[in-house]
Amino acid sequence: MTVAERIHARQVFSDPVLWLAFGFGSGLAPRAPGTAGTLMAIPLFLLLDPLPLAGYLLATVFITLAGVWICGRASHTLGVHDHPGIVWDEFAGYLITMAMAPEGWTGILAGFTLFRLFDIWKPWPIGWADRKVHGGLGIMLDDVLAGLMAVVVLWIAGQVV
Average pLDDT over residues 47-53: 97
* Percent of all residues in the chain with a pLDDT value above 70, rounded to a whole number: 96
pLDDT in tens, 111-130: 999 999 999 999 999 999 99
pLDDT in tens, 90-106: 999 999 999 989 999 99
Average pLDDT over residues 55-61: 98
Q: What whole-number distance in Å separates Cα of residue 124 and Cα of residue 41?
A: 25
Closest-CA residue to 38 (of 103, 100, 90): 90
Element (H, E) at 48: helix 33-48
pTM value is 0.94
To the nearest 10°, the Cα dihedral for 50, 53, 58, 59?
20
CA atoms within 13 A on the CB side of 26: 22
- At 6, give phi and psi (nearest 5°): -70, 135
Q: What whole-number distance in Å separates Cα of residue 15 and Cα of residue 75?
A: 13
The three-class DSSP label of residue 132 is helix
Residue type at 66?
A
pLDDT at 161: 66
pLDDT at 143: 98
Closest-CA residue to 105 (of 29, 34, 38, 46): 46
